[in-house]
Structure 1
């Protein structure tokens, strides 16, 4: 996709990867950016940075889990700013916990934001893209959409689901000249993940690197954009030796999880001797 002179809508644009993608699009020739997130103040700060680059910008302070409000505001934005050529679904949340200690409200928040919110905005934008017979939709998944890991069950489930959703849409919308792409970064150093217990040996990447990989990938025909050597290595290992990768993931899991697992192993050995 040639983004020169195009209009893009980026969800989750107030911080992290979404913010970096919005700024990278502004630097590489997009004409107009619509920034969507819940935090109006943060959106305004990002909008100021983008305006300084000479790009038209508008903010949509919306909660994607409220479909009626999203529908109204998106219709107004389409009327006021013209058709959207690129949608980047980046809004998401993450909560880390061993499955048996997970809390239902947090599980519901991940499912609602990561999946239902993405579905809501994609459905509204895709219908309009079909009418104009042009568009690109980028759904931000994760390496954990390919390789699940302990303490991240719900998050991994949503990211796996995003890949399935993306694949289904790719087939359905291709006849309408609409590309649907999945972006799969590995651990990215954003404020969303800084309170998590990181996995051993994982080297975080920057949001800017993810954004640059996306812009570069838009010019190619690949249905998926894996970001970083760790992602390529993990996906390759999962194909060739999945059992080995599972063992590595257990060894790399956050310290509390490892400690409990090793305690169970020691107890099992003691009772069997």
Structure 2
């Protein structure tokens, strides 16, 4: 899909990967961008950057977990700005914690936004795309939708679910000339990631690199766009030697770093007492 001259709607567009995709699409010559996020102020800042590039932009301050609000907003946007050619489902949240210390409210937040929020806006837009017999949908999953990691069990569960959802829609919506793809970035340097304990040996990508990979994948009509050499290496290793990858993930996980720090403190305390 060539995005030049298209109308694209991007969720999670106020920061991180969503913001980078919006700016990259503006550089690539989309005719209009519709930006969706909960933070009205940050949306306005991104919109200003896009308008400076000569691209028409509209913002929707919207909570995707509220079904009625989503349906009303999409109906109004479709009437006001014309048929949407491309939907990028980028909104998401991640909570990192050992499973035995996890709490239901945080898990519910991940499920509500990562899964149900994506479902609500996709349904609202896909119905209209089916009527016009054209469109493309990109669901942003993650490398953790292919390879799960300790301390990220519920986040990984939502990202695995996104891949299943994407694969099912790809088959169902093909008859309506709607392409459905998945974008799978590795660890990316965003505000969300800066609040997490990083895994050893993982080098974060920039949001701009992810956005450029998406544009390239769209041009090739790739059903899955796996971003970064670390992602390709991890997926290959998971296919060839899953046991080895599991050991590497355990050594790299924040849990192992915490254990190492705990053991070091114990050794130091023991040496001091002697």
TM range (shorter): over 0.9
Q: 1:100 to 1:255 in 2, by over 3 A?
A: closer
Q: CA deviation at 1:137?
A: 0.1
Q: 1:236 to 1:48 in 2, by over 3 A?
A: same
Q: Does 1:78 align with 2:78?
A: yes
Secondary structure at 2:131 match in 1: helix
Match of 1:207 in 2: 207
Gaps of 5+ in 1: 264-273
Maintained 8 Å contact 2:90/2:139: yes
Maintained 8 Å contact 2:184/2:224: yes
Match of 1:250 in 2: 250
4+ runs of 1 displaced by more than 4 Å?
255-258, 260-263
Aligned length: 263
Please list the CA deviations of residues 159-188 of structure 1 after superposition, one character each: whole Å capped at 9, or x if unmatched: 000000000000000111110000000000
Which whole-Å CA distance do the structure 2 matches of 1:40 and 1:185 have between them? Answer: 26
Which whole-Å CA distance do the structure 1 matches of 2:85 and 2:215 have between them? Answer: 14
Maintained 8 Å contact 1:139/1:181: yes
- TM-score by length of structure 2 reads 0.94
Match of 1:111 in 2: 111
1:53-202 matches, cutoff 5 A:
53-202=53-202
Gaps of 5+ in 2: 264-274
Please list the CA deviations of residues 24-51 of structure 1 after superposition, one character each: whole Å capped at 9, or x if unmatched: 0010010000000000000000000000
Which whole-Å CA distance do the structure 2 matches of 1:23 and 1:94 have between them? Answer: 23
- TM-score by length of structure 1 reads 0.94
Could you say what the CA RMSD is over the residues aligned between the two structures, in angstroms?
1.4
